[in-house]
């Protein structure tokens, strides 16, 4: 009978279609969004808890800086090659492995018996985050083959990071004040388990040919680690100490070796020809400076509210709500401004708004009303939210399509390095100054001066951020 004949080719194709195309895409997006949320959350949630961590585990300013920078350092140093790893072993496998490692190291952080174990766990946690980041976006691309649906999915994916940035300090303060600082790490476990459960329903990812730049990766980690160590320990103990001098020399040698490997290597993780473009160079420097101002400011004022003003961790976290609450709204405004006036307008405006906020924060004293301080921090957050979306768009418009992924990774790496070095440098200024307030004011002035210079460099770019002929 005809009803028992072989199914049509269309029916067979539908039956063989990947799960993502038959409704699995929400699982892909859910897992990727949760991963991005966790990555972004752990960059900030720990900051408000630093005084409590110091009281519980001991250690001075340099030890607390490493709790923040251990994560950011490995995240930044491994991000460029993590994309190649994701392609090589498959995005689903890379994301799942990174997620499991992230959850395990979160538990290790929460159970850490001393500061050394906590810093070591944070280093590994940052490495896990670096593996997860490009894999999460690759999963979104895999789960949404249609370009229009993929664009909407990526927009939703970015919400995970924006929400994490907004709630990080507040959630960190609330958990520290109510159940203790260890729960800022334990809170990752249920979210990680949920992401793994969603990932289990995601189809396997294809493996693509990709070569890893081992020499470049090792020299990058050594250069960034030695530089961060030299700045942190130099601020605490003095830059003339032999160990500090040796660390800075190692950083310089490793950086030179890294550049040589990128120039001569067959498969460099950082293609140096990208930097022939003025737009790329300026975008990377601006991204570095914006994150330096933001993360350095959060670090300084987390300590200011608790150590100088005697506020609880919860109240300190609440002080950051005005600065972070409008980030998502301003991100959308940035895109509209860039569409109407070109990307330079929101980028320069964001930097100048941030500069104004940093300059105003130099007036903060020991008895300034805490809600007034919270209000003065608002321009710092809004400036970054206004500049970054347009900055990313300008960078991607300035490079050939086949280099868009690499250029995006370079920008994100520069931003993470900016945040890590700002914590190291600002902490050194706090430790080396006569008073905490003096060190904090010098930190704000340094960040403001940097944003003024990068705003001037942005203004010197061609209108619209056109692609350079050499890019």
Model confidence at 289, pLDDT cuts 50, 70, 90, reads: very high
pLDDT value at position 147? 66
pLDDT value at position 208? 67
Res. 190: pLDDT tops 90: yes
Burial (CB count within 10 angstroms: exposed 0-12, middle 13-18, buried 19+), residue 367: exposed
Nearest to 387 by CA among 259, 249, 273, 286: 286
Q: CA 411 to CA 401: how far, in whole Å?
A: 15
pLDDT value at position 85? 78
Model confidence at 210, pLDDT cuts 50, 70, 90, reads: low
Q: Please, what is the average pLDDT of the chain? A: 83
Model confidence at 16, pLDDT cuts 50, 70, 90, reads: very low
pLDDT value at position 10? 38
pLDDT value at position 239? 78
Q: CA 96 to CA 440: how far, in whole Å?
A: 41
Res. 29: pLDDT tops 80: yes
In the DSSP assignment, the letter for residue 467 is: P
pLDDT digits (tens, 9 = 90+) for 106-139: 999 999 999 999 999 999 999 999 888 888 877 8
Is 344 or 144 the better-scoring residue by pLDDT? Answer: 344
Instruction: Please tell me which of 59-63, 94-98, 160-164, 356-360 the model is most confident about, judged by mean pLDDT.
Output: 356-360
Q: CA 338 to CA 351: how far, in whole Å?
A: 15
pLDDT value at position 118? 95
pLDDT value at position 7? 42
Nearest to 391 by CA among 314, 294, 285, 319: 285
Domains of the chain with bracketed CATH:
23-202 (1.20.1250.20), 214-270 (no CATH), 271-465 (1.20.1250.20)
Q: Picking from 106-115, 118-127, 208-217, 237-246, which range would have the lowest pLDDT averaged per residue? A: 208-217
Model confidence at 448, pLDDT cuts 50, 70, 90, reads: very high
Assigned token pair, 370:
């805490």
Percent of the chain with pLDDT over 90: 28
Instruction: Please tell me which of 12-21, 50-59, 136-145, 187-196 the model is most confident about, judged by mean pLDDT.
Output: 187-196
pLDDT value at position 77? 82
Q: CA 19 to CA 422: how far, in whole Å?
A: 44
Q: Picking from 73-82, 139-148, 258-267, 359-368, which range would have the lowest pLDDT averaged per residue? A: 139-148
pLDDT value at position 11? 38
pLDDT value at position 20? 38
What's the length of the chain?
471
pLDDT digits (tens, 9 = 90+) for 412-439: 888 888 888 898 889 889 888 889 999 9
Res. 211: pLDDT tops 80: no
Model confidence at 470, pLDDT cuts 50, 70, 90, reads: very low
Res. 163: pLDDT tops 50: yes
Verdict on whether the full-model pTM lies above 0.85: no
């Amino acid at each position: 009978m005809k009803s028992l004949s072989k199914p049509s080719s269309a029916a067979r194709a539908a039956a063989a279609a990947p799960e993502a195309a038959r409704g699995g895409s929400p699982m892909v997006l859910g897992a990727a969004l949760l991963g991005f949320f966790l990555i972004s959350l752990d960059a900030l949630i720990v900051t408000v808890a630093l005084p409590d961590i110091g009281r519980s585990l001991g250690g001075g300013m340099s030890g607390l800086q490493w709790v923040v920078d251990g994560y950011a350092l490995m995240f930044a140093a491994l991000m460029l090659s993590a994309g190649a790893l994701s392609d090589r072993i498959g995005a689903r496998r890379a994301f799942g492995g990174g997620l499991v490692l992230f959850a395990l190291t979160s538990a290790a952080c929460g159970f850490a018996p001393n500061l050394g174990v906590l810093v070591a766990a944070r280093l590994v946690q940052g490495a896990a985050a670096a593996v997860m980041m490009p894999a999460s976006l690759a999963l979104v691309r895999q789960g949404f083959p249609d370009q229009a649906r993929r664009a909407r999915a990526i927009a939703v994916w970015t919400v995970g990071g924006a929400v994490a940035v907004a709630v990080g300090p507040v959630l960190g303060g609330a958990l520290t004040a109510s159940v203790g600082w260890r729960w800022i790490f334990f809170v990752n476990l249920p979210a990680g388990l949920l992401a793994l459960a969603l990932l289990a329903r995601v189809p396997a990812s294809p493996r693509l040919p990709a070569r890893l730049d081992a020499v470049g990766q090792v020299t990058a980690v050594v250069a960034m680690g030695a530089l961060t160590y030299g700045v942190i320990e130099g601020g605490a103990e003095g830059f003339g100490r032999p160990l500090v001098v040796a660390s800075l020399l190692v950083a310089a040698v490793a950086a030179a070796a890294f550049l040589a490997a990128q120039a001569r290597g067959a498969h460099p993780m950082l293609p140096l020809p990208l930097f022939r473009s003025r737009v790329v160079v300026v975008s990377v420097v601006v991204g570095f400076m914006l994150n330096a101002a933001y993360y350095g400011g959060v670090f300084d004022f987390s300590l200011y509210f608790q150590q100088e003003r005697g506020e609880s961790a919860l109240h300190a976290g609440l002080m950051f709500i005005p600065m972070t609450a409008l980030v998502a709204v301003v991100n959308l405004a940035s895109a509209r401004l860039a569409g109407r006036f070109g990307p330079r307008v929101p980028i320069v405006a964001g930097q100048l708004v941030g500069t104004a906020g940093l300059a105003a924060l130099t007036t903060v004293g020991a008895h300034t009303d805490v809600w007034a301080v919270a209000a003065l921090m608002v321009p710092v957050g809004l400036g970054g939210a206004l500049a970054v979306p347009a900055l990313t768009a300008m960078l991607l418009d300035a490079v050939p399509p086949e280099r868009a992924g690499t250029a995006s990774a370079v920008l994100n790496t520069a931003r993470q390095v900016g945040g890590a070095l700002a914590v190291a440098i600002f902490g050194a200024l706090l430790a080396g100054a006569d008073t905490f307030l003096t060190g904090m004011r010098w930190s704000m002035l340094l960040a403001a001066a940097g944003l003024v210079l990068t705003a001037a460099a942005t203004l010197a770019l061609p209108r619209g951020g056109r692609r350079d002929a050499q890019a």
